[in-house]
Amino acid sequence: MNLGTEVGLKMGKATRDAFGEALRDIGRENPAVVVVDGDVSNSTRTEWFGKEFPDRFFDVGIAESNLVGVASGLAANGKIPVAASFAAFLLCNAYDQIRMGVAYPHLNVKLVGSHAGISIGEDGPSQMAIEDVALACALPGVVVLVPADEHAARAATRAMIAYDGPTYLRVGRPNVPVVYDENVQIEIGKAITVREGGDVTIIANGLMVAAALDAAARLAGQGIEARVLDMHTVKPLDEAAVAAAARETGGIVVAEEHLHHGGLGSVVAMAVARLHPCRMGFVDLDDTYAQSGTGEELLREYGLTADRIVEEATRIVRGG
């Protein structure tokens, strides 16, 4: 995948792989952690937990609503359940159960959606979660996490388990560039400044963080210094970082592997409108479903690229 190459990032593991590794490790440390999966554990990587802790692993089959119900019951009885499936199956198929069985009673259920975004490639639109962040953000009291690389995914998994309340963790299928080292810390609600800059700010999460860094390098060649913020927590949003970016750089571009409405761009725009209005641009999927193709082909086809970020940032800086 052609991301992070211009700033010399090396390719790492998929965030779903890092999640699976971290979950297994946490299982060794915390016997209260249990896992419920929907017959896709070889894809979500929860099978690594299940092989080591079979008495704490429950495969409910292709029945996402039942999966959430089981997880809710486990949480109500003091366990820390991780409920995992493809993001499209979990959030779309079981939304009512998540709403009434997890969010409304504010139970300590850890929802994990794998294979998010269009970068899953050839599986096609039926399995591409492109609205999951919007759906999760709409649920009162639910934390929403979108890590950028394998190290951030491990840290986000630990932050999710340590947090007392419902969470949604979004992870992906493809290998992604390594942005951080193994010591990165993910603090819920606190953005990470990946690159300093005073002319414009690029706010991104997931694999778009690497694209944002590539874009910032290109912009620097044009004399434009871009700040890059990794907004790994979409909810609660780091409003202080957003307000500072708007005030100090005068313009913000939001880049995400998600639909235009309801995701990171929407929540950042709401914060900007309320705290410090400034010029904004958005790099996302707009309002469309994707076709089938390789992950790299699809990211290019739908404009989730450094090129598109550069266009938006340049337009903002030059007042276009």
Cis status, amide bond into 236, omega within 30 of 0: yes
- The tokens for 290 are 């994707």
- The tokens for 199 are 């002319």
Query: Is 182 an active-site residue?
Result: no
Within 8 A by CB and 6+ apart from 164, the residues are 108
Among residues 64, 131, 256, 312, which one is catalytic?
64
What pairing do the DSSP bridges indicate for beta strands 200-204 and 251-255?
Answer: parallel
Q: Please write down the HEC assignment for all residues of 87-133.
A: HHHHHHHCHHHHHHHHHCCCCCCEEEEECECHHHCCCCHHHCECCHH
CA-nearest of 110, 194, 195, 125 to 160 is 110
Strand, helix or coil for residue 52: helix
Gap between the Cα atoms of 97 and 110, Å rounded: 14
- Cα dihedral 4→9→12→18 (10° resolution): -80
Bridge partners (DSSP) listed for residue 293 = none
CA-nearest of 217, 243, 215 to 312 is 215
Provide the annotated active-site residues. Answer: 64
